[in-house]
Amino acid sequence: MSADTVMLAADQAGCDRAAEILRAGGLVAFPTETVYGLGADACSDHAVARIFEAKDRPRFNPLIAHVEGAEMAARLVRWTDTADALAGAFWPGPLTLVLPLAEGAGVSSLVTAGLSSLAVRAPAHPVAQAVLGAFGGPVAAPSANRSGRISPTTAAHVRAGLWGRIEAIVDGGACGVGVESTIIDLTDRPTLLRPGGLPAEAIDAALGQPLARHRSDGTLTAPGQMQSHYAPGAAVRLNASAPRPGEVMLGFGRVDCDLNLSPSGDLTEAAANLFSHLHSLDATGRQIAVSPIPETGLGRAINDRLRRAAAPRG
């Protein structure tokens, strides 16, 4: 597979051109506040299939449909009062909601991986909103990287992994949040499926009750649940106090290291730096040791990504 990839500016002309490419069945990488997404027309089987081809992604892993807001989402899923409350509090933003698929939604079954539910999100990034507005419909968009590899937070990361495999990349600079969206299942009791850029504590507070926690039985119900995921080429060793011979060190807090997620111990800064620093350390060709990260707030999302990066490769 090959495509003549072009770089597009993050202006209205670039976003309009991106929408034209999407309407023609092409693939466009664009920035969100979390990571860069690889977009395709969510209602086109052929276009969505090309996402899996470009990413070498297993077809049983569902995708997120990106929408402008709640009005568009409510045409795709069976909207609920809980969904409305969470969307009102956190959309646009790094929160994905999983809801029952609406009858006649028209979304490709490749987006849902054949499930009866759909993951929807309204991204906050102005470029993502401009592309969605110009396109006028849902855009299926997993992270714009080869499947299982480190997620991209800059256009350069996308270019390194997908150049020649997609039609266009909209260069909107570095992503501010830096880890993927938090995913909440609303098909039954509100349940945290994947920690992400919105801390679960904020969602608990909005709901007035704690989220249930997903216990995996091996079934993939939402993106980002594969055991080995977000992985660099080199092996990753977690909770390291110091590097071993032949390792590079990814630090957190006041430690000696090659790159530091946040010298001050700020989890928001650490999340924003996570994938970019992993890309940089992976380029050294050496194994990566990682400092302990607190399991609180955004630390849960960071640790989730790191555990998947360190998991045994299939």
Class (C level, CATH) for 6-213: alpha beta
Residue 223 and residue 293: Cα distance in Å, rounded?
23
Question: What pLDDT shows up at residue 309?
Answer: 87
DSSP designation for 18 = H
Question: What pLDDT shows up at residue 228?
Answer: 56
Residue 213 DSSP SS3: strand
Domain-by-domain residue ranges, the chain?
6-213, 236-310
Sheet with 36-41, side-by-side order of all strands: 6-9, 168-171, 28-31, 36-41, 139-140, 64-66, 117-121, 95-100, 182-185, 191-194, 212-213
Report strand pairing: 117-121 vs 139-140.
unpaired
Question: What pLDDT shows up at residue 272?
Answer: 83
Burial class (CB in 10 A: 0-12, 13-18, 19+), 244: exposed
Question: What pLDDT shows up at residue 280?
Answer: 93
pLDDT tens, N- to C-terminus, the chain (314 residues): 557 999 999 999 999 999 999 999 999 999 999 999 999 999 998 899 899 889 887 665 789 999 999 999 999 999 999 999 999 999 999 999 999 999 999 999 889 887 899 999 999 999 999 999 999 999 999 999 998 889 999 999 999 999 999 999 999 999 999 999 999 999 999 999 999 999 999 999 999 999 998 766 555 566 655 555 557 888 999 999 999 999 999 999 999 999 999 999 998 899 888 988 999 999 999 999 999 999 988 888 788 889 988 988 65
Residue 14 and residue 165: Cα distance in Å, rounded?
19
Question: What pLDDT shows up at residue 212?
Answer: 94
Question: What pLDDT shows up at residue 234?
Answer: 85
What's the distance, Cα to Cα, between the start and end of the chain in Å?
24
Residue 46 neighbours by CB distance under 10 Å: 11
Residue 171 and residue 158: Cα distance in Å, rounded?
10
CATH code for residues 236-310? 3.40.50.11030
CA–chain centroid gap for 153, Å, is 10
Question: What pLDDT shows up at residue 285?
Answer: 94
